[in-house]
Amino acid sequence: MAKMQSSLRNMALSLTLISLGASAALGYVYEFTKGPIEISLLNKKLEAIRQVVPEFDNDPNADMFLLPTGEGDSLEVYPARKGEELVGYAIKSYTEKGFSGHIGLMVGFTPDGSIYNINVLEHRETPGLGTKLVPEGTPEKPEFKDQFRGKNPAEFPLKVKKDGGPVDAITAATISSRAFCDGVQRAYNTFEKGGLK
């Protein structure tokens, strides 16, 4: 077999064939993995909802609706029901005020507006400092987000002590602590404006 002559035309033809083959393989892998990825994301979302509201037996994802924040966007609201009784709402909130930008939260409220629990969905905060937003504590040693449980933002200002509020900030991570409060406040404001009380 004769060796192909190195010319611009032959190089362009080779690159085109390689690109077509790679894109076809990528398209096949995407289609093959799309379903399992969607199921995995749905399960992750449902687990986050389970962690932030009292026990429920409905499908909050099927009952999800959007509520405007008043800031030009909307938040996803997942109502949780046990039989016919409404036991809470999980609201997918966020803030862009983190030390490293975006922090995604799932905030659970009881029907009276009290915070049931909060789950950090995503963040890029500094390891060892801002990442302390995430873990669950124990009764002997509560973690940062545990101080929000059972509090109603109508009476419990969502501000760190440096800003005149009651929230104990994470040592050396005041910006992350403020951002967390901002994300929870956005969820509560949406809850209140949406007339969910």
Distance CA 8, CA 76 (A): 53
Is 151 a residue whose pLDDT tops 60? yes
Comparing CA positions, the residue from 65, 80, 77, 72 lying closest to residue 106 is 77
Q: What would the pLDDT profile of 97-146 be if each residue is shown by its tens digit?
A: 888 888 899 999 999 999 999 998 888 776 766 556 666 655 555 688 88
pLDDT score, position 152:
95
User: Domain-by-domain residue ranges, the chain?
Assistant: 51-193
pLDDT in tens, 156-166: 999 999 999 89
Among 23-32, 46-55, 137-146, 172-181, top mean pLDDT goes to: 46-55
pLDDT tens digit string along 21-40? 899 888 888 888 888 878 87
Q: For residue 49, give the nearest of 84, 88, 103 by alpha carbon.
A: 88
Please tell me the predicted confidence (pLDDT) of residue 135: 62
Can you give the pLDDT at residue 82? Answer: 93
pLDDT value at residue 49: 93
